[in-house]
């Protein structure tokens, strides 16, 4: 994770990173529940991930992602990130966590989620520091507030 550019001190970026941590904490707890054979608890945690992620993705996509997509330099990168959001949104509710194949699928999805988050925290968020105007930050912050409301 990038700790050097200062983006972690931007309030909105801090919120996004805290949301990532809540989701990856729930994912880790779900994996541990599956290891001890507690599919019911894992399901609750995966459902919590889905709820957290739905609000998180709205906050990113309606604000920061939208204003950065206006720059062709970032548009494809952001489209790929949004594609990964849609894939995980479709996957989580469909998983049968009592089935070993789906447990493997979930385990892979958690690894991919960590990689996805790294692309945001090490790529997009540092880039936002130089890419966004003051007005862009206001737009991004307003979208995040609306998503949490």
Residues engaged in binding Fe ion (CB under 5 A): 120
Tell me whether residue 63 or residue 120 sits nearer to Fe ion (CB atom): 120
Sign of CA dihedral 44, 143, 78, 134: negative
What is the C-alpha to C-alpha distance for residues 20 and 81, in angstroms, rounded to an integer?
Answer: 14
Helix axes 134-148, 39-59, angle to 10 degrees: 140
Give the residue with the Cβ less far from Fe ion, 120 or 132: 120
- Which of 67, 55, 37 has its CA nearest to residue 134? 67
Tell me how far, at minimum, the Cβ of 64 lies from Fe ion, in Å: 9
Nearer to Fe ion, 33 or 124 (CB): 124
CB of 87 to Fe ion, least distance (A): 14
**Minimum distance, C-beta of residue 100 to Fe ion, in the bound complex (Å):** 29
* CA 86 remoteness from chain centre: 11
Nearest CB to Fe ion, comparing residues 7 and 120: 120
Shortest Cβ 16–Fe ion spacing (Å): 6
Q: How many residues does the chain have?
A: 149
User: Which residue, judged by CB position, is nearest to Fe ion in the bound state?
Assistant: 120
């Amino acid at each position: 994770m990038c700790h050097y550019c200062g983006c972690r001190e931007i309030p909105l970026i801090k919120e996004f990173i805290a949301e990532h941590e809540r989701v990856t904490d729930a994912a880790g707890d779900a994996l541990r529940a599956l290891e001890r054979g507690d599919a019911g608890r894992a399901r609750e945690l995966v459902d919590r991930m889905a709820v957290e992620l739905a609000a998180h993705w709205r906050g990113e996509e309606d604000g920061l992602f939208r204003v950065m997509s206006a720059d062709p330099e970032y548009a494809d990168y952001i489209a790929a990130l949004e594609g990964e959001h849609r894939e995980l949104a479709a996957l989580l509710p469909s998983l049968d966590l009592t089935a070993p194949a789906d447990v493997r699928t979930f385990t892979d999805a958690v690894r991919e989620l960590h990689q996805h988050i790294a692309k945001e925290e090490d790529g997009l968020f540092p880039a936002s520091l130089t890419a966004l105007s003051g007005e862009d930050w206001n737009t991004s912050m307003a979208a995040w507030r609306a998503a949490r409301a």
